[in-house]
Structure 1
Amino acid sequence: MYDVKPNLIIGFHGCDADVCKALLNNPDQIKISKRPYDWLGHGMYFWENNYDRAFQWAYDKQQRGAIKKPAVIGGLLQPGYCCDFTETKYIAMLSSYHNVMARRYKLSGEKLPENKDLPHDKYKDRILRELDCATIEFMHMRIFKRARLDILQKGFTKEKPFDSTRGVFTEGGPAFEGAGLFAKSHIQLCIRNPNCIKGFFLPRREIDFRPPPTLTYS
């Protein structure tokens, strides 16, 4: 019902320590991910209110030799016009765009991208989401092209390109035997419009601020 999300969200971005420092010193140097297997399309990714998952992601990258020192930077986010895949209508919208894209691939004789598992992933989480990414980017491209054509022809448009995409994901296997909860379940927020990032901050751990109880003797 409500397409624009004006609320502020705290997100956490796992990265190399040098990237964290660079963003703190120069928050305009935002790096957009454009990998073909990005789960929510192209943009800057944040784990929604999930510091631990962001750090684990960065730590895993360090173990693979992809970064030197794992770190997490916080972001104050305003999702704006958000394609939120926790809402039924956006799932249906993406499905319709996928049908159009699939027909185009068939007519051209090309093979559709596929979501794939990593060889070592025993839970088969389809970490490489090339089909999802291609479909989401196809949707964004079609909306943008229609908006641009409307402006050129009519001087205005009713089309609205999305500022962000959002999704909830189950990942990592059951949290315990027989569980319906999963060890790495999380919400991701992919920011396409950099103006949705209001600022970065260095997260700090909460402490127990309560004073110790006063001992009394009888």
Structure 2
Amino acid sequence: MYSVLPSFVLGFHGCDESVAEDVFSGRAELKFSDNDYDWLGNGIYFWENNPVRALEFAKQVKLFPQISRGKVKKAAVVGAIIDLGHCLNLLDSKFIEFLKFGYEVVAENIKQYDEPMPENTPVKRDGDLLIRRLDCAVVEAVHEKQDWLVEKGKADYKFDTTRGVFIEGKEIYPNSGFRDKNHIQICVRNPACIKGYFRVRSE
């Protein structure tokens, strides 16, 4: 009943300037990310209401070849108007329960095929857990289950988007519960939820 979030949000995608210009001109769309370490699963990633963080990421991504593949030469940001639609909203207690189920599915599959459990790991020692193979597997298990329920007529919808809080960075003061790179991220699985793109205006 409450999976639809009834408002538009602004999302910001950090990328290379050439990609941004192709999107603005209509020559291209932002591409799906399907890496096995994407923490919210497969889709198009945006920072919610945070163009500054999107630009920082685009500037810094070249420093992390494990996840960047050298794609950004000149940093830019694409703004998007997003209808979250049916959202796997990981700020909602109900959907946290979905993740627990997803983990059980992953653990059972790993046991059945005698494979190592995927892990969340830092890019560098003592860094943030940016390589999120476990989280990706869990979220994708949730989506696969929901898609199966829809196909069997046991659910009314597939999830259009996934939304979660990413705790990242250094404490902003001693013993702080806040980190300097905390943000909310959105992963769009259904491209129809992106209602339009725009250039970010300077302050």
Residue pairs, 1:117-132, within 5 angstroms: 117-120=122-125, 122=126, 124-132=127-135
User: Counterpart of 1:114?
Assistant: 119
Verify the 8 A CA contact 1:143 1:159 in the aligned structure 2.
Answer: no
Q: Over aligned residue pairs, what C-alpha RMSD do you find?
A: 1.6
Superposed displacement of residue 178, structure 1: 2.6
1:80 paired to 2:58:
no
* Count of matched residue pairs: 198
1:45 paired to 2:45:
yes
Secondary structure of the residue that 2:165 maps to in structure 1?
strand
Secondary structure of the residue that 1:141 maps to in structure 2?
helix
1:147 paired to 2:150:
yes
User: Counterpart of 2:67?
Assistant: none
User: Counterpart of 1:30?
Assistant: 30
Give the whole-Å Cα distance in 1 for the aligned partners of 2:180 and 2:112.
41
Verify the 8 A CA contact 1:20 1:71 in the aligned structure 2.
Answer: yes
Give the whole-Å Cα distance in 2 for the aligned partners of 1:138 and 1:146.
12
Alignment partner of 1:103 out of 97, 100, 108: 108
Superposed displacement of residue 169, structure 1: 1.5
Per the normalisation by structure 2, the TM-score is 0.91
Give the whole-Å Cα distance in 1 for the aligned partners of 2:43 and 2:147.
15
Identity of aligned residues (%): 40
Which amino acid in structure 1 is aligned with residue 14 of structure 2? G
Secondary structure of the residue that 2:152 maps to in structure 1?
helix
Superposed displacement of residue 5, structure 1: 1.0
Secondary structure of the residue that 1:5 maps to in structure 2?
coil
Which amino acid in structure 1 is aligned with residue 40 of structure 2? L
Verify the 8 A CA contact 2:37 2:133 in the aligned structure 1.
Answer: yes
Verify the 8 A CA contact 1:62 1:70 in the aligned structure 2.
Answer: no
Give the whole-Å Cα distance in 2 for the aligned partners of 1:35 and 1:9.
25
Give the whole-Å Cα distance in 2 for the aligned partners of 1:140 and 1:176.
38
1:11 paired to 2:11:
yes
**CA 1:28–1:6: 2 relative to 1, 3 Å:** farther
Cα distance per residue 1:184-216 (max 9 Å; x no partner): 00000110000110000001023xxxxxxxxxx
Gaps of 5+ in 1: 151-156, 207-218
Give the whole-Å Cα distance in 1 for the aligned partners of 2:90 and 2:35.
20
Give the whole-Å Cα distance in 1 for the aligned partners of 2:32 and 2:43.
5
Alignment partner of 2:188 out of 167, 187, 191: 191
Superposed displacement of residue 28, structure 1: 5.9
Superposed displacement of residue 117, structure 1: 1.2
Give the whole-Å Cα distance in 2 for the aligned partners of 1:16 and 1:187.
21
Superposed displacement of residue 62, structure 1: 4.0
Superposed displacement of residue 144, structure 1: 1.2
Q: Which has the larger Rg?
A: 1
Secondary structure of the residue that 1:72 maps to in structure 2?
strand
Alignment partner of 2:197 out of 178, 197, 200: 200
